[in-house]
Amino acid sequence: MKKILTLLALTISSSMNAQITTNGTDNSGANATAMGYNTSASGDFSTAMGYNTTANGISATAFGDSTIAYGHWSTAMGGSTQANGQYSTAIGANSIASGSSSTAMGADTEASGFNSTAMGFDTEASGQSSLAAGEHTTASGLVSTALGVFSIASGEFSTAIGFGRPEEGVFPSGTPYYKNEALGWGSYVFGNRNKSTGDKSFSIGSDNLSQGVGTFSVGENNISTGDYSMALGLFSESIGNASFAFGNNAYADGFNTTAIGTANTIDENASPDAWSVNNRLLVVGNGQYNEETQTLERSDAFTIMFNGDATLAGNLSVNSDAKLKSNIISLGSTLAKVLMLDGKSYSMKNDPKKSVKIGLVAQDIEQAFPELVSAYNGIKSVNYQGLIPVLINAVKEQDDIIKKQDERLAKLEQVIAKMNE
């Protein structure tokens, strides 16, 4: 058979309008070839072979059953495929490649964008240089990529990979799910039923939503709505701009705030786009979620306010093992230096409420105990914990003085008693 086809090809090459006569064929194009039943090769240097195939474009090729190659230098192969764009390729069943330099492969695929590719089953690549592969995937954005099942990449330079659903909805448990969509510019979804609507947003895992610009949701059922916010873990939500929620049911609803742990939230009254010195900057929680009341039973383990105040719910332990230390020397007498210190009341300059605080001044402590003072960027800080051993030695020293005074007083009382006898 190959020898026969070779001889036929050599024979028709000598004529500008060579023709192979079969039932219902038409090869009106120059150097065109039509073979099979009801085939048409009207484009110059085109080839139509099979059943009901049409090659209209220059150097177009149509093979199979009911295939059409309209575009110049296009190729249509399989059953009911169409290659309409220049340099386009359609292979499979009911696939359409209408964009220039596009490729549609599989069943019911369509590549309409320039240099686009649609592969698999019922996939669509309409964006320029887009790629849709898998099953029921859509890549409509410029340079977008949709892979998997029911994944949608409509944002420019977006990527959607994984498994989605035809429509958004809510599980019987009340938690939402999504189509697995990347809608924002440069957005990305990877996993199952995720959604990224914000530009440069990321959703990775299952049933996550990233709405703000530059947001990041990773895990399961997390939501990032504030711009440049992050929500990681399970059922966590970052509402405030530049906020971070990490854990189980962690909520960071204030601007530039961080919530870490279980069943905790920054502040119900916090502003999502402006910070206040009276709001909480960081919360580490150890609470729980009450299934009956469907509420968070918050228990803050550690809290830092924007004004620098910190609250620790438990005890703070510091490594103090002798095995970790060297050059251990007793402080000796510290009472005289302690007496140099003077407690002060004051207000912080950056505190709009001018709340009254009690403490020491670093410069005063530095004169007596320079080891307890450190400086960074011109601001001096005090190691208040280091004052404890100083005060212990001062108390011991004062106790020795009191004991000696008690002994002297006792002797004086004995002398006075003898004088009164």
Q: What is the pLDDT of residue 21?
A: 39
Q: What is the pLDDT of residue 172?
A: 77
For residue 98, give every residue at least 6 positions away whose Cβ sits within 8 Å of its Cβ, in sequence order, or none.
82, 84, 85, 88, 110, 111, 112
- CA–CA separation, 302 and 59 (whole Å): 73
DSSP string, 301-340: EEEEETTS-EEESS-------GGG--S-------HHHHTT
pTM over 0.85: no
Domain positions in the chain: 225-314, 332-419
- CA–CA separation, 54 and 368 (whole Å): 98
Identify which of 156, 159, 211 has the alpha carbon closest to the alpha carbon of residue 185.
Answer: 156
**3-state secondary structure at position 137:** coil
Identify which of 282, 227, 226, 288 has the alpha carbon closest to the alpha carbon of residue 258.
Answer: 282
pLDDT in tens, the chain (421 residues): 344 344 334 334 433 344 443 455 767 788 999 999 999 999 999 999 999 999 999 999 999 999 999 999 999 999 999 999 999 999 999 999 999 999 999 999 999 999 999 999 999 999 999 999 999 999 999 999 999 999 999 999 999 999 998 888 887 777 788 889 999 999 999 999 999 999 999 999 999 999 999 999 999 999 999 999 999 999 999 988 999 999 888 888 888 888 888 877 666 566 666 666 667 778 887 777 777 877 777 777 888 887 778 888 888 888 999 999 999 999 999 999 999 999 999 998 887 788 899 999 999 999 999 999 999 999 999 999 999 999 999 999 999 999 999 999 998 888 888 888 7
Q: What is the pLDDT of residue 18?
A: 41
The residues with which 258 forms a beta bridge, in sequence order, are: 244, 282
Which region holds residue 402: left if phi is over 0, alpha if psi is between -120 and 50, else beta? Answer: alpha
Phi, then psi, of 267 in degrees rounded to 5: -170, 125
The residues with which 68 forms a beta bridge, in sequence order, are: 54, 82
- CA–CA separation, 56 and 161 (whole Å): 37
Question: Are 92 and 103 contacting, i.e. CB atoms less than 8 angstroms apart?
Answer: no
Query: E strands of 207-291, at which residues?
Result: 209-210, 216-220, 223-224, 230-234, 237-238, 244-252, 258-265, 280-286, 288-290
| CA 132 to mean position of chain CA atoms | 23
Question: Are 81 and 98 contacting, i.e. CB atoms less than 8 angstroms apart?
Answer: no
